[in-house]
Structure 1
Amino acid sequence: MPKRISVRGAIISNDVAWIYELFDIEHTSPQMVMEQIEDANGDDLEVIINSGGGEVYAASEIYTELKSYTGTVETRVVGLAASAASVIAMAGDKVLIAPTAEIMIHNSSMGYHGDHRDMNKASEMLQNTDKTIANAYRLKSGMDEKELLDLMGKETWLTPQDALEKGLVDEIMFENEIKLTASASVSNLIP
């Protein structure tokens, strides 16, 4: 039986987790995930994701830990994997999505201040960050960087079918289940 890890709420850095804990706000930090990975002792992992995203570097750390894990990692998008959470979803050896879930990908953003030189540096940093985010999608889907950056630039919301067609997920959950129906009929008609 795989060990379950939840990725819910905001994706945050370790140093601000105490604030979320103080106010009992749902969140996920790299340390939380790493502790659960260590407890798994090589057993397979099932990572349940429902998050609107958060800090890209925290997500990168979680992604890297999951990709480096020795056991099998299955990620399951059960509600939303948006922004930084979509990066984490790409860490699965197998990526599944619920038929009612969505994935959202977009460009990185930040608040910044300074003069025009600072703004130019910030712009360059964001463009580089977008490329690193696109790497996670590229490694999963095989899509080229330009196409991914275009989708990110448009802030693209992907239905389960869209995500499957683009190779960002491997399977839509419950899709292969066949529903059997039984029909009982009481009738005076003779066949």
Structure 2
Amino acid sequence: MPQTTPYYNIVKNEADREATIFIYGAIGGIDWDTYETINTASKFTVAFNELEKDADTIHIRINSPGGAVFEGQAIYNAIFASKKRIVTYNDGICASMAALILLSGDEIHAFKNSLLMIHNSSSSYWGNKKEVEEQLEAAEKIDKALGTAIEDRLGITAEDVEKEYLNYKDNWFTTDEASSLGFYDHVIKKEKAQIPEDIMQLKPKDMVSKYAAMTFSIPNTKSKITNTMNKPNSFPNLVAVLGAPLASTDKGSYINDEQKKAIDNKFAADALALQTANSAKDKAEQDLQAEKDSRQQAIDAEKANTNAALTAMRTAATAAGVENIIENATMEDINTALAAQIAVLNGKPGASHTGGANDPDKKDGEFDYIDFDNSIYSQIK
């Protein structure tokens, strides 16, 4: 059956420079009667970019089972890159690719009975073994790319995303569960979301088919969303940054383009100051480390000199006849032992450094300190 209505609809509120986009239905697909692609990102992004020219706040209300990954990814990026204030809503169910589009908002709202479902991408694989392996490798990369939306929203790692959300299961979350995990900023009271009763029992493919066959009532008149501007001067921190009151109308306070530029400049100046401070901190830490390294080198050199002197004294003491020097003897210990040995040697001249002291042919005490067997005395024997 040919598609008669788009999967999205735009309602403008030009007086308040706001607009609402309703994404109700499957994302991407094929019209099997005409074999043309439908619900494409190209049409959505063109309409969205046009809408940005006239709206400062864009509300995006979603009730979708998801659909084509590449179409949804382009829609997510178009919304995420917008410099306008984006508020997304889970009007019933945001599953699969629709769940990730929901995460593109600056603020995310949901009804108390909304459902959120996150899972890995899925596809059909065809070809020989090598071709299928390449397709599986591509599927892993697709999952990693999709997971960045969850990383950004929850402030968690890719490993945490893979473990908790892209774990090859359909992960369903009630609004209370999703809120506690950090997916939602606000829960809408009273109203009820539009959810098929058997939605959680359907496989993703059947879910998309069911939504494609459903007719949703998408408003074609002015959105009921009202301006929620705050009272003048209700943001003292912003007033302090600006140095002047916020711009205001009879409906409340807001930030005009000039004030936005002033805030951006303030943030840029603060960022530069922080960068300069961090650079100075890094330089100080580097200088301190260099000084520590220099001192350590001096200590190591002094220690080496001390060890060399200790080794030299130990060698001298051993040569002088000092015996049984303990391994951890200090220089003072060795010096004391050496002094004692020298005193002994001084009392017995030649006893330890000559060979003639015990020669029976010599008179007692005569030339005891000379070794006549030494080669230097060979000419006078």
Shorter-chain TM band: 0.7 to 0.9
Aligned residue pairs, count: 168
State the alpha-carbon separation in 1 of the partners of residues 82 and 128 from structure 2.
43
- Counterpart in the other structure of 2:166: 152
State the alpha-carbon separation in 1 of the partners of residues 116 and 90 from structure 2.
8
Among candidates 19, 22, 32, match of residue 3 of structure 1: 19
Give the secondary-structure state (helix, strand or coil) at the position aligned to 1:11.
coil
State the alpha-carbon separation in 1 of the partners of residues 189 and 154 from structure 2.
21
- Following superposition of structure 1 onto structure 2, how do residues 154-169 of structure 1 map, counting pairs within 5 Å? 154-169=169-184
TM-score with structure 1 setting the length = 0.80
- Counterpart in the other structure of 1:39: 51
Matched, 1:113 2:126: yes
Structure 2: state its 5+ residue gaps. 1-15, 191-381
Match of 2:51, as an amino acid?
D
State the alpha-carbon separation in 2 of the partners of residues 141 and 20 from structure 1.
39
Q: CA deviation at 1:33?
A: 2.4
For residues 46-69 of structure 1, the C-alpha deviation after alignment (integer angstroms, 9 at most, x for no partner) is 000000000111111001110111
Matched, 1:55 2:71: no
Q: CA deviation at 1:172?
A: 1.6
State the alpha-carbon separation in 2 of the partners of residues 62 and 40 from structure 1.
14
- Following superposition of structure 1 onto structure 2, how do residues 13-162 of structure 1 map, counting pairs within 5 Å? 16=30, 19=31, 28-37=39-48, 38-41=50-53, 42-150=55-163, 151-153=165-167, 154-162=169-177
For residues 62-118 of structure 1, the C-alpha deviation after alignment (integer angstroms, 9 at most, x for no partner) is 011101112100000011110010110010000111111111000111112011111
Per mean C-alpha deviation after superposition, the further-off stretch among 76-85 and 160-169 is 160-169
Matched, 1:171 2:186: yes
Give yes or no for contact 1:11–1:55 (8 Å, CA) kept in 2: yes
Structure of higher RCO (CA pairs closer than 8 Å, 6+ residues apart):
1
State the alpha-carbon separation in 1 of the partners of residues 23 and 32 from structure 2.
14
State the alpha-carbon separation in 1 of the partners of residues 141 and 183 from structure 2.
21
Give yes or no for contact 1:7–1:28 (8 Å, CA) kept in 2: no
- Counterpart in the other structure of 2:304: none
Give yes or no for contact 1:96–1:173 (8 Å, CA) kept in 2: yes
State the alpha-carbon separation in 1 of the partners of residues 60 and 114 from structure 2.
15
Match of 2:20, as an amino acid?
R
Structure 1: state its 5+ residue gaps. 176-191
Q: Rate the CA distance shift 1:54–1:71 in 2: closer, same or farther, 3 A.
A: same
State the alpha-carbon separation in 2 of the partners of residues 28 and 86 from structure 1.
17
Match of 1:29, as an amino acid?
T
TM-score with structure 2 setting the length = 0.42
**Whose helix proportion is higher, 1 or 2?**
2
Give the secondary-structure state (helix, strand or coil) at the position aligned to 1:163.
helix
- Counterpart in the other structure of 2:312: none
State the alpha-carbon separation in 2 of the partners of residues 3 and 36 from structure 1.
12
State the alpha-carbon separation in 1 of the partners of residues 33 and 104 from structure 2.
26
Give the secondary-structure state (helix, strand or coil) at the position aligned to 1:39.
helix
Write out the 4+ residue segments of structure 1 that deviate beyond 3 Å after TM superposition: none
State the alpha-carbon separation in 1 of the partners of residues 63 and 84 from structure 2.
22
Q: Rate the CA distance shift 1:92–1:113 in 2: closer, same or farther, 3 A.
A: same
Match of 1:157, as an amino acid?
W
Q: Rate the CA distance shift 1:21–1:87 in 2: closer, same or farther, 3 A.
A: farther
- Counterpart in the other structure of 1:180: none
Give yes or no for contact 1:5–1:36 (8 Å, CA) kept in 2: no
Q: Rate the CA distance shift 1:97–1:35 in 2: closer, same or farther, 3 A.
A: same
RMSD over aligned CA atoms reads: 2.2
Match of 1:12, as an amino acid?
G
Give the secondary-structure state (helix, strand or coil) at the position aligned to 1:54.
coil
State the alpha-carbon separation in 2 of the partners of residues 85 and 3 from structure 1.
20
Per mean C-alpha deviation after superposition, the further-off stretch among 135-144 and 36-45 is 36-45
